[in-house]
């Protein structure tokens, strides 16, 4: 039996492995409902191990052990022990060859970790601990080995046999079968192992790296989908060029393969030379994928490619160091996106996501530092904190060092650690050594959970022509203060930035300055300030903090119109809208009318009037804060009131500017063939934001326009914009459009996911009933993660229906968590995270949520994945 209450693994308990494995030779034989894996491991005692007499303990799960031998001699039953998680050999020599034969059924593997079946064949997913579901191994990232793999399978059903590295031999065997042998020249941790046996179509191209090395790039997709693989290939080549130009990093392989699979737990996986992707991040055609899908593909293809250096060449010593590769690689993909699209818009979107997912995580039961110090189930720690907050920490280092010194730090990091498994401290040390910048205060970000609050108050002394900014930080846990880079500017009454001169500076320089906040409280005195300025604080969101800038509505309106920093222009509008909506919530609860200040509405009018300068940016400024972000700002969240107040604000703006929105909708049409570039996508984004405002009025004119647009649209961006509006509208057009959509797209899985999602996230009453009926739809399949996410996770992310006051949303999701857990614990555990913020709601909702959580906890055979999440939520 597995331990029903598995113990937490602690960072402070880290010890080097007792044994190392220099090489791995796998022979994989695929038969009907069975894979047989023969492994030959070159094992030796680790000279760095704490104790030279430790037994050999190999990890293994869901395996049937057929035989085990040391140096060619089969072990007798008394010489080893096997339980659900391990194979133990008490007496092991100093160096030896271990051979094991195991069997299992990949078709019965619904967990989608290890070796599993999807529609077109067999695929692997080994991060974090899936390799132990393929063979017995010391499954931890500081054990790095050279791999050779031979795959055998039926030729007809599995024409492609792939593994990491280079194909070195292949052949036919007994009639219907064939085999292929692969060798990976780079030592790697087991989590980067991959193999595929499948029927796939192939798109390939040559590539010459900057130094003249030739490589073959391949994208494998399900049969018949080759016309949806072109953009991924294009993105791959762009990402390769970008990494060469920006970081001087080249592809180190002869062959780089990407394989898309329809059943996948995450977005994609950076296995050495053989990336495996969720189809969602590969397949795209103008009529099937939205601009946002294209953007996601570009970003994720780049992300996985960038891992080849940040993650694969230099990997993590242990899983506590996950942000070493993830935070850094997210930072790299964010910079790539900023260079390829609009920097301001990319930053706005990243910060919006950070606030919607990471801030709540950091305030809830799953809060953890970017380098966690304990976990029960590592799969639960692929979080917004490790990824997105981790990227913010890297960005702060970048901001403090500057571009060139940061690049020197990266170079030094590779020089020191290429081929090694290292820690976050090794990274910051390289950055500090290369730049000479003291990172001691910055390093504290790695070990502290929670979002710091930064308070700033400015005082203008007209007589002295000085502006003094008093800035404080708090994290509410004691401990030494963090180093927070605070980018600021001072905006004059005329809307123009004032040149900045801090007291003590020889002269003014620049109009944005990064202040080093290292103390709990600090003062910064700017001189030669000729008029009372409005401070523009935290420009570009220079640190992942909650800022209380002490600004008035008038100050914010000024920034919203004039700030030279586009991020803060957007931010000022968000803060104002938040104030209006939250005041509206209070008014509604008191039975009073909601007030919308004219100054704000006029500032929105100015955005519309100047929208053609940067349509994508204007669309971001027109988007009101998400309901989830608003809920975080309240002491006790009131989802119904938030929804209503936000809806009213939107409607009021829409009514005030109806003609302008209609004008924008007509004016920003994009002509010519579809392209997902920033310019065209930006115009569509503004146009569809305008449509969204018109549909906030939801009268027959708006609905007719939207339905017409739905039928006219030639690309999926416009189609979905219209469909989503209609899905939130009670008019007869709704069912017509949804019916037409399904009929047209029922054979295109990713598009069918969109159809499910649009219904599951609808604002309309009765959405829960609709969701329940969708579960009975013939196209629904709980085993397919994308489909489950399109319905269940999407529903659980809604503010109003999941948090319905009668508790029905909670009960429903709890039942689904339990059902999913039997199939796929990782996907179930993600769904359970929807309950994270349950204590933010009123007593009635809390009682329902507690009941729902307890019903999950008492389910029989609960996985440690869900157990950890629910245990923390209740704990």
Contacts to Zn ion by CB under 5 A: 326, 329
382 binds ligand 0A1 (CB under 6 A): yes
Stretch near ligand 0A1 under the rule CB under 6 A, chosen from 30-38, 85-93, 264-272, 866-874: 264-272
Partner whose footprint covers residue 233, from ligand 0A1, Zn ion, none (CB < 5 to 8 Å by kind): none
Contacting residue, 269, 370, 582, 645, with ligand 0A1 by CB under 6 A: 269
868 binds ligand 0A1 (CB under 6 A): no
CA–CA separation, 286 and 135 (whole Å): 42
Q: Is 709 a catalytic residue?
A: no
Q: Are 722 and 730 in contact (CB under 8 A)?
A: no
Burial 14-51 (b: 16+ CB within 10 A, else e): eeebbbbbeebbbbbbbeeeebbbbbebbbebbeeeee
- Which is nearer to ligand 0A1, 200 or 261 (by Cβ)? 261
DSSP character for 499? Answer: P
Closest distance to Zn ion from the beta carbon of 324 (Å): 11
- Which is nearer to Zn ion, 35 or 282 (by Cβ)? 282
388 binds ligand 0A1 (CB under 6 A): no
Partner whose footprint covers residue 268, from ligand 0A1, Zn ion, none (CB < 5 to 8 Å by kind): ligand 0A1
Q: Which of 99, 127, 304, 392 is catalytic?
A: 304
* Residue of 462, 456, 524, 539 whose CA lies nearest to 493: 462
- Which is nearer to ligand 0A1, 560 or 831 (by Cβ)? 831
42 strand-pairing partners: 23, 97
Closest distance to Zn ion from the beta carbon of 127 (Å): 9
Contacting residue, 117, 138, 233, 268, with ligand 0A1 by CB under 6 A: 268
CA–CA separation, 591 and 576 (whole Å): 22
Stretch near ligand 0A1 under the rule CB under 6 A, chosen from 98-106, 260-268, 279-287, 455-463: 260-268
Contacting residue, 16, 154, 185, 267, with ligand 0A1 by CB under 6 A: 267
* Residue of 392, 372, 391 whose CA lies nearest to 380: 372
Closest distance to ligand 0A1 from the beta carbon of 112 (Å): 8
At residue 565, the 3 state secondary structure works out as coil
Query: What angle separates helix 733-745 from helix 749-760, to the nearest 10 degrees?
Result: 160
Residue count, binding to ligand 0A1 (CB under 6 A): 15
| Site of tokens 């250096």 | 309
Closest distance to ligand 0A1 from the beta carbon of 788 (Å): 15
- Which is nearer to ligand 0A1, 337 or 557 (by Cβ)? 337
- Which is nearer to ligand 0A1, 473 or 784 (by Cβ)? 784
CA–CA separation, 866 and 857 (whole Å): 8
CA–CA separation, 570 and 573 (whole Å): 5
Closest distance to ligand 0A1 from the beta carbon of 253 (Å): 18
266 binds ligand 0A1 (CB under 6 A): yes
Tokens of 62: 């869901």
Closest distance to Zn ion from the beta carbon of 303 (Å): 6
CA–CA separation, 399 and 391 (whole Å): 12
298 binds ligand 0A1 (CB under 6 A): no
CA–CA separation, 840 and 846 (whole Å): 8
- Which is nearer to Zn ion, 139 or 326 (by Cβ)? 326
Tokens of 325: 């590769």
- Which is nearer to ligand 0A1, 218 or 826 (by Cβ)? 826
Partner whose footprint covers residue 117, from Zn ion, ligand 0A1, none (CB < 5 to 8 Å by kind): none
Closest distance to ligand 0A1 from the beta carbon of 116 (Å): 12
Closest distance to ligand 0A1 from the beta carbon of 382 (Å): 5
Question: What x-and-dash track marks residues 68-107 binding ligand 0A1 by CB under 6 A?
Answer: ----------------------------------------
Other CB atoms within a 10 A radius of the CB of residue 746 amount to: 13
767 binds ligand 0A1 (CB under 6 A): no
CA–CA separation, 241 and 252 (whole Å): 13
Closest distance to Zn ion from the beta carbon of 353 (Å): 15
Partner whose footprint covers residue 382, from Zn ion, ligand 0A1, none (CB < 5 to 8 Å by kind): ligand 0A1
> Element (H or E) spanning 121, and its range?
strand 121-125
Alpha helix stretches (DSSP H) within 418-538: 424-435, 440-443
Alpha helix stretches (DSSP H) within 75-115: none
824 binds ligand 0A1 (CB under 6 A): no
Residue 191's alpha-carbon distances to 23, 138, 234, 382, 633, in angstroms, are 15, 11, 27, 14, 39
Stretch near ligand 0A1 under the rule CB under 6 A, chosen from 120-128, 420-428, 569-577, 771-779: 120-128
Q: Are 451 and 362 in contact (CB under 8 A)?
A: yes
Partner whose footprint covers residue 542, from ligand 0A1, Zn ion, none (CB < 5 to 8 Å by kind): none
Partner whose footprint covers residue 267, from ligand 0A1, Zn ion, none (CB < 5 to 8 Å by kind): ligand 0A1
Partner whose footprint covers residue 269, from Zn ion, ligand 0A1, none (CB < 5 to 8 Å by kind): ligand 0A1
Closest distance to ligand 0A1 from the beta carbon of 332 (Å): 12
Q: Are 239 and 253 in contact (CB under 8 A)?
A: no
CA–CA separation, 233 and 231 (whole Å): 5
Closest distance to ligand 0A1 from the beta carbon of 792 (Å): 18
- Which is nearer to ligand 0A1, 265 or 729 (by Cβ)? 265
Torsion over CA: 308, 139, 322, 283 (sign) = positive
Q: Are 429 and 398 in contact (CB under 8 A)?
A: no
Partner whose footprint covers residue 127, from Zn ion, ligand 0A1, none (CB < 5 to 8 Å by kind): ligand 0A1
Burial class (CB in 10 A: 0-12, 13-18, 19+), 487: buried
CA–CA separation, 807 and 537 (whole Å): 41
* Residue of 675, 669, 674 whose CA lies nearest to 615: 669
C-beta nearest to ligand 0A1: residue: 266
Contacts of 835 (CB under 8 A, 6+ apart): 810, 813, 849, 852, 853, 869, 870, 873
Stretch near ligand 0A1 under the rule CB under 6 A, chosen from 124-132, 178-186, 254-262, 453-461: 124-132
DSSP character for 790? Answer: I
Tokens of 228: 């949806």
CA torsion 559-562-564-566 (nearest 10°) is 70
- Which is nearer to Zn ion, 141 or 807 (by Cβ)? 141
- Which is nearer to Zn ion, 330 or 869 (by Cβ)? 330
Partner whose footprint covers residue 265, from Zn ion, ligand 0A1, none (CB < 5 to 8 Å by kind): ligand 0A1
- Which is nearer to ligand 0A1, 381 or 665 (by Cβ)? 381
Largest interatomic CA distance in the chain:
95
| Site of tokens 């018109």 | 694
- Which is nearer to ligand 0A1, 270 or 293 (by Cβ)? 270
Other CB atoms within a 10 A radius of the CB of residue 635 amount to: 6
- Which is nearer to ligand 0A1, 395 or 539 (by Cβ)? 395
Closest distance to Zn ion from the beta carbon of 748 (Å): 27
109 binds ligand 0A1 (CB under 6 A): no
296 binds ligand 0A1 (CB under 6 A): no
Residues 311-350 binding ligand 0A1 (CB under 6 A) are 326
Closest distance to ligand 0A1 from the beta carbon of 125 (Å): 5
Query: How do beta strands 255-261 and 534-536 pair?
Result: unpaired
Query: How do beta strands 466-474 and 453-461 pair?
Result: antiparallel
At residue 17, the 3 state secondary structure works out as coil
Q: Which residues belong to the active site?
A: 304
Q: Which residues bind ligand 0A1 (CB under 6 A)?
A: 125, 127-128, 265-270, 303-304, 326, 379, 382, 826
């Amino acid at each position: 039996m597995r331990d029903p209450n598995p113990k937490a693994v602690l960072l402070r308990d880290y010890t080097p492995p007792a044994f190392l494995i220099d090489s791995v030779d796998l022979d994989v034989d695929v038969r009907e409902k069975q894979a047989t894996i023969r492994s030959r491991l070159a094992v030796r005692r680790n000279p760095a191990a704490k104790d030279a007499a430790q037994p050999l303990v190999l990890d293994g799960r869901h395996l049937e052990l057929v035989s085990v031998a040391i140096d060619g001699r089969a072990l007798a039953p008394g010489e080893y022990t096997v339980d659900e998680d391990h194979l133990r050999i008490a007496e092991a020599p100093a160096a030896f060859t271990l051979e094991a034969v195991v069997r299992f059924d990949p078709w019965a593997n619904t967990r989608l970790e290890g070796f599993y079946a999807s529609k077109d064949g067999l695929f692997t997913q080994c991060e974090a601990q899936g390799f132990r579901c393929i063979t017995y191994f010391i499954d931890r990232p500081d054990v790095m080995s050279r791999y050779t793999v031979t795959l055998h399978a039926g030729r007809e059903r599995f024409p492609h046999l792939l593994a990491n590295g280079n194909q070195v031999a292949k052949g036919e065997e007994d009639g219907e079968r064939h085999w292929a042998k692969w060798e990976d020249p780079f030592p790697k941790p087991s989590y980067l192992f991959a193999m595929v046996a499948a029927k796939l179509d192939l798109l390939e191209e040559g590539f010459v790296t900057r130094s003249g090395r030739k490589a073959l790039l391949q994208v494998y997709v399900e049969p018949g989908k080759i016309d949806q693989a072109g953009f991924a290939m294009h993105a791959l080549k762009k990402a390769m060029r970008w990494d060469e130009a920006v970081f001087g990093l080249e592809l180190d392989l002869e062959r780089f393969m990407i394989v898309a699979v329809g059943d996948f737990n995450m977005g994609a996986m950076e296995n050495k030379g053989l990336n495996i992707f969720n189809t969602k991040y590969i397949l795209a055609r103008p009529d099937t994928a939205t601009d946002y899908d294209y953007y996601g593909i570009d970003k994720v293809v780049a992300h996985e490619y960038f891992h080849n250096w940040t993650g694969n060449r230099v990997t993590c010593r242990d899983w506590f160091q996950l942000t070493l590769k993830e935070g850094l690689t997210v930072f790299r993909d964010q910079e790539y996106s900023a260079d390829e699209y609009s920097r301001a818009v990319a930053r706005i979107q990243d910060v919006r996501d950070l606030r919607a997912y990471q801030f709540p995580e950091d305030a809830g039961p799953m809060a953890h530092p970017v380098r966690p110090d304990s976990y029960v189930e590592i799969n639960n720690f692929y979080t917004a904190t490790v990824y997105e907050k981790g990227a913010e920490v890297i960005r702060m280092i970048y901001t403090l060092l500057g571009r060139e010194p940061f690049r020197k730090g990266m170079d030094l990091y590779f020089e020191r650690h290429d081929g090694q498994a290292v820690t976050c401290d090794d990274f910051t040390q390289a950055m500090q050594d290369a730049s000479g910048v003291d990172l001691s205060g910055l390093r504290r970000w790695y070990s502290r959970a929670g979002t710091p609050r930064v308070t700033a108050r400015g005082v203008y002394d007209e007589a002295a022509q000085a502006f003094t900014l008093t800035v404080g930080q708090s994290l509410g846990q004691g401990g030494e203060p963090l180093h927070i880079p605070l980018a600021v500017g001072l905006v004059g009454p005329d809307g123009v930035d004032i040149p900045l001169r801090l007291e003590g500076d020889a002269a003014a320089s620049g109009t944005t300055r990064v202040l080093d906040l290292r103390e709990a409280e600090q003062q910064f005195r700017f001189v030669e300030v000729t008029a009372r300025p409005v401070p523009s604080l935290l420009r570009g969101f220079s640190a992942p903090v909650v800022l209380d800038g002490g600004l008035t509505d008038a100050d914010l309106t000024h920034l919203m119109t004039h700030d030279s920093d586009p991020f803060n222009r957007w931010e000022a509008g968000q803060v104002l809208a938040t104030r209006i909506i939250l005041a509206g919530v209070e008014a509604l609860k008191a039975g009073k009318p909601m007030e919308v200040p004219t100054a704000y509405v006029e500032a929105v009018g100015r955005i519309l009037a100047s929208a053609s300068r940067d349509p994508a940016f204007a669309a971001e400024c027109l988007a009101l804060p998400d309901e989830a972000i608003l809920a975080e700002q309240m002491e006790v969240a009131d989802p119904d009131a938030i929804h209503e107040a936000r809806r009213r604000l939107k409607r009021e703006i829409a009514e005030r500017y109806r003609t302008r929105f209609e004008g924008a909708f007509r004016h920003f049409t994009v002509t010519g063939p579809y392209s997902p570039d920033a310019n065209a996508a930006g115009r569509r984004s503004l146009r569809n934001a305008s449509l969204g405002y018109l549909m906030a009025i939801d009268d027959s004119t708006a609905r007719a326009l939207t339905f017409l647009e739905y039928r006219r649209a030639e690309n999926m961006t416009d189609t979905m914009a219209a469909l989503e509006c209609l899905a939130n509208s009670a008019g007869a057009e709704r069912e017509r459009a949804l019916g037409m959509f399904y009929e047209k797209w029922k054979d295109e899985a990713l598009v069918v996911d969109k159809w499910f999602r649009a219904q599951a996230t609808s604002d309309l009453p009765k959405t829960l009933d609709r969701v329940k009926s969708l579960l009975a739809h013939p196209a629904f399949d709980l085993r397919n993660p994308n489909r489950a996410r399109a319905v269940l996770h999407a529903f659980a992310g809604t503010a109003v229906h999941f948090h319905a006051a009668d508790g029905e949303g909670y009960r429903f999701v709890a039942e689904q968590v339990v059902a999913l857990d039997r199939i796929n614990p990782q996907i179930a555990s993600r769904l359970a995270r929807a309950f994270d913020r349950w204590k933010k709601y009123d007593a009635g909702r809390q009682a329902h949520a507690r009941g729902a959580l307890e019903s999950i906890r008492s389910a029989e055979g609960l996985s440690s994945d869900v157990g950890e999440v629910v245990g923390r939520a209740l704990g």
